[in-house]
Every structure is written in C-alpha cells, then in structure tokens.
C-alpha cells in the first residue's frame, strides 16, 4: 500500500463491503432479492447515503456476487477464497486498490442493509479522535431476549470508551439493573495500514471460541474505540430476519 498523504486526502473514507455467498444460517443471503434487488445492493446504497463515504467497493471471491454488484453499477474487487473473516478480505482489497496507509477504510458488513449514516459518521469520527487504529459501533440492547441471544454480539467498555471484550454471551451479567447492555453493530473503521498488520496477526483463542474477528485485535494488544449510537435494526443472519427487513422495506 502507498504511504502518500496526498492520495489519502484525495480518497477520504472508503467503504469496503466484504461479501461471500456461503452462510451457515442463511446460504446465499447476499443475493436474496425479494425486494426486487439483491441484499448487497441495499447495503451499497446504505453506505452511499453517508456523506462521510466517498467511495464504495464490494470485496468478494464469488462471480455471482461480482455480476450482481456490477449490474447495479457499483465497483467490485475480486479477492482470494481462503480468507477466514471479512477483515482479512479487506486487507487484500486495500492492497489491490493501492490505498495509502493512512486512508480511512470503513468495513460495512454485507448483511447490514439498514446501517444508519450517523453511525458510520460517528464511528469514523471516533477513530480520528481516539488515536486508536480501529473503531467500531454499538447501541443499547432494548430487550432481555436480545441480551440472551447468541446471534446478538455484545460488547463491554472501559472508562475511556474502548472495548474490553466482545461476546455472544450475555455480558455484563445481569445481576442488577443499571445502564442497558450494548450490542455490537456490524461496522469497523481502520487505517489501511492497520489492515495489513491485522492480516499478519496469528488467529487467537478467544477469536476462535467466540468466532468474532475483532477479538484478534484485542488479544494482540490493539485497542478498539467504540462509538455509541442509535441503531434500530441489526444485521441479517437468518431467513426470518430477512423477511422482517423485506416487510419494513415494503412499508416505507
């Protein structure tokens, strides 16, 4: 990757959306199209709706996804098939796109069609203000069911607003009523140079146990700043969640 500050300033923030066809709970969800356009197109449009994003690229290893993205008039970067997570895929895409090391890269998950522009903007600002090499976002959990749901990733913070831990378990333990617990939002922001370093880090025990890629950064000693925002909806993991999204979209 380039170290040119001029190039970084020119590009501004670039959203790279990692997208793969396989999914344990909902195979092919990226191309589900009951709204008349594939899910990935909704995510692209959500990213484009944020004025802090100047460029949107989908990173995939699947020709079906590439064809759908390009049919919608968007940019696609083909990557290897052997990536273990989205951040690793973004590292290759950032290299292929020849991004400057200090360019801001926003990782919007390919199943987040309702990501709010304010959450994206706030997460970018959090990265710049915190001095961390990585930032993400969280929102208050509104129901006990979500707190107990292993499909809803939770995060706890330190006094500086940085992540202490992410888990599928109900953290913190609900012993007494206090501030609402926080759910993680499927969004990461990094400097492009950090992506290259992340890709060289060895996978970690907690990352493997929880199956959460952000834990690799924490376990290797890299703090993650967390923006707290308002987010009505989370990502789509199951057919039922997709059906609910379709219903909301049709009612707009």
Q: What is the pLDDT of residues 218-239, one digit of tens each?
A: 999 999 999 999 877 778 988 9
Q: Residue 173 has what pLDDT?
A: 87
Q: What would the two tokens of residue 27 be?
A: 């195979």
Q: Is the overall model pTM greater than 0.85, yes or no?
A: yes
- Domain carrying residue 159: 5-250
Closest CA to 163 of 213, 117, 120: 213
CB atoms within 10 A of CB 94: 28
- Burial of 144 (C-beta count, 10 Å sphere; 0-12/13-18/19+): exposed
Structure confidence at residue 1 (pLDDT): 64
Residue range 174-183, pLDDT digits in tens: 776 568 899 9
For the chain, the domain total comes to 1
- Kindly report the CATH number assigned to the domain that includes residue 106: 3.90.550.10
CA dist 32 and 29 (Å) reads 5
Determine the straight-line distance between the first and last CA of the chain, rounded to whole angstroms.
42
Q: What mean pLDDT comes out for the span 59-82?
A: 95
* Chain segment 72-95, per-residue pLDDT in tens: 999 999 999 988 888 999 999 999
Residue written as tokens 């950032």? 94
Q: What pLDDT is recorded for position 4? A: 43
> Cβ–Cβ contacts within 10 Å for residue 6, how many?
9
DSSP state, 243? H
Phi, psi torsion values for 43, nearest 5 degrees: -65, -45
Query: Looking up tokens 């004025």, which residue turns up?
Result: 51
């Amino acid at each position: 990757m380039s170290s040119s500050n001029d190039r970084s300033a020119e590009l501004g923030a670039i959203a790279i959306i990692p997208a793969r066809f396989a999914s344990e709970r909902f195979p092919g969800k990226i191309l589900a199209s009951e709204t008349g356009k594939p899910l990935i197109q909704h995510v692209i449009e959500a990213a484009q709706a944020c004025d802090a994003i100047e460029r949107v690229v989908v990173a995939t290893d699947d020709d079906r996804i590439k064809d759908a993205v390009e049919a919608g008039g968007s940019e696609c970067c083909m990557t290897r098939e052997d990536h273990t997570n989205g951040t690793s895929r973004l590292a290759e895409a950032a290299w292929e796109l020849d991004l400057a090391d200090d360019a801001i890269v926003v990782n919007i998950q390919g199943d987040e069609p309702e990501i709010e522009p304010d959450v994206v903007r706030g997460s970018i600002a959090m990265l710049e203000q915190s001095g961390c090499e990585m930032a993400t976002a969280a929102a208050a959990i509104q129901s006990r069911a979500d707190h107990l749901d292993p499909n809803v990733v939770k995060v706890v913070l330190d006094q500086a607003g940085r992540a202490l831990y992410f888990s599928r378990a109900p953290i913190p333990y609900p012993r007494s009523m206090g501030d609402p617990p926080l759910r993680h939002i499927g969004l990461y922001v990094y400097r492009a140079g950090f992506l290259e370093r992340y890709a060289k880090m060895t996978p970690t025990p907690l990352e493997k146990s929880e199956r959460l890629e952000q834990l690799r950064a924490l376990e290797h000693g890299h703090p993650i700043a967390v923006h707290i925002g308002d987010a009505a909806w989370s990502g789509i993991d199951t057919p039922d969640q997709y059906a609910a999204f379709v219903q909301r979209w049709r009612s707009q």
